[in-house]
Amino acid sequence: MSTVGLFAIGNALIDQEFKVSDEFLTAHHLQKGTMQLADGEAQATLYQNLKATQTYKGQASGGSAANTTVAFAALGGSAFYACRVGDDDLGHIYLHGLNEAGIKTTTQSISEGVTGTCMVLVSPDSERTMHTYLGITAELTDKQIDFQPLATAKWLYIEGYLSTSETARQAVKQAREIAKANGVKIAFTLSDPAMVQYARTGLDEMIADGVDLLFCNQQEALMYTQTDTIEAALAKLKELSQYVVITMSAEGALISNNGESFTVPGRAVTAVDANGAGDAFAGAFLYALNAGLGLKTAAELAILVSSQVVAQFGPRLAVSEYAALLKDVLKECA
């Protein structure tokens, strides 16, 4: 009997979201559409510049895998989130936010240190660029993780952003061993083109001898496999995972399972903010797969949920919205 459907490990970050101009990104040497790591001083300086010159949109508990876990839980799944936050106001706000979303956490996640922050910069084309100070989450170790729920979970979900931390990679290795020993399926996301470009060795280490489900977007797929076509990339990714899911923005998603591949078209929306769309996609897809709804329904639900995230500011929908979207998809697929 599983205690949770999803056991996720990821960074814990408080997002500060801003609407910015392309000129601002250029002036601050920020590569659009990627995540850049920074120290505390650089983060504070950028924050002051943003507050003085750009449009502030608000604060939210973030982190890629956390966003995925929120979508999974809001759709009706049970979930546990393993992370590391500081024993400060932001850390307590962060865990409280997850608990309010119905996600289980542990006080082991709290330690001395400063909770990380992420400046989420949304340009006029709705693309998101991130400037991240990891804070204490950069030092995530197995000491902050309660592995007990993992042994009876259905899925272990790992975010690729952890590839930059040696101690986090060791914690992931331990989690993988527990998952494999107990028949828990492993899902992994490449997370960001910057991780593929700068932390490839860490990604390889965490993927190890393969996973059950691999998420990535089209750019990450091409970069990670060092290929020029999505077909060639998929062929290589299938060597690492039974299920491969490649998201293609407005064009939808390419899904593969043991050699069978199909494409599900995207949904037309007015794009406002791409932040969290891929995370929401993964959460919805995992929920549907875990609920036995089938690959096509999983893809339809994931595309619908992620398209709604893109159509608003912020990486998450209101909890009530997820259930309504699930109802719509089930009605369409009936």
Q: In this predicted model, what pLDDT tens digit does every residue of 309-323 receive, in sequence order?
A: 999 988 889 988 999
C-alpha pair distances (Å), 230 with each of 11, 35, 287? 29, 23, 26
Mean pLDDT of 106-112: 96
For 276-292, write each residue's pLDDT tens digit.
999 999 999 999 999 99
- Residues 29-56, mean pLDDT to the nearest whole number: 95
For residue 258, name the pLDDT band (cuts at 50, 70, 90).
confident
Specify the pLDDT at position 62.
Answer: 87
DSSP readout, 55-92?
EEEEEEEE-HHHHHHHHHHHTT--EEEE--EESSHHHH
Distance from C-alpha of 159 to C-alpha of 312, rounded to nearest angstrom: 23
Please give the angle made by the CA atoms of 315, 126 and 53, to the nearest 5 degrees: 95
Q: Give the total residue count for the chain.
A: 334
How does DSSP classify residue 129? Answer: E
- The per-residue pLDDT for range 127-181, each reduced to its tens digit, is 999 999 999 999 999 999 999 999 999 999 999 999 999 999 999 999 999 999 9
Count each helix (H run) and each strand (E run) in the chain, helices first: 12, 15
CA distance 73 to 90: 22
CA distance 320 to 75: 9
CA–CA dist 186, 231 (Å, integer)? 24
pLDDT at 1 over 70: no
Overall average pLDDT of the 233-240 stretch = 97
The pLDDT value recorded for residue 274 is 87
pLDDT given at position 266: 95
Q: Mean pLDDT throughout 53-63?
A: 90
Residue 296 has pLDDT above 70, yes or no: yes
* Complete DSSP assignment for 230-291: HHHHHHHHTTTEEEEEEE-GGG-EEEEETTEEEEE----------TTHHHHHHHHHHHHHHT
Question: What average pLDDT does the structure give for the chain?
Answer: 95
Number of C-beta neighbours around residue 309 at 10 A: 27
Between CA 184 and CA 2 the distance in angstroms is: 10
119: pLDDT strictly greater than 60 = yes
Right CATH number for 4-13+62-114+136-333 from 3.40.1190.20, 3.40.50.2300, 3.30.420.40, 3.30.70.920? Answer: 3.40.1190.20
pLDDT over 90 at 332, yes or no: no
Position 200 scores a pLDDT of 97
Phi, psi at 125, each rounded to 5°:
-85, 10
Is 0.75 surpassed by the pTM of this model? yes
Percent of the chain with pLDDT over 90: 91
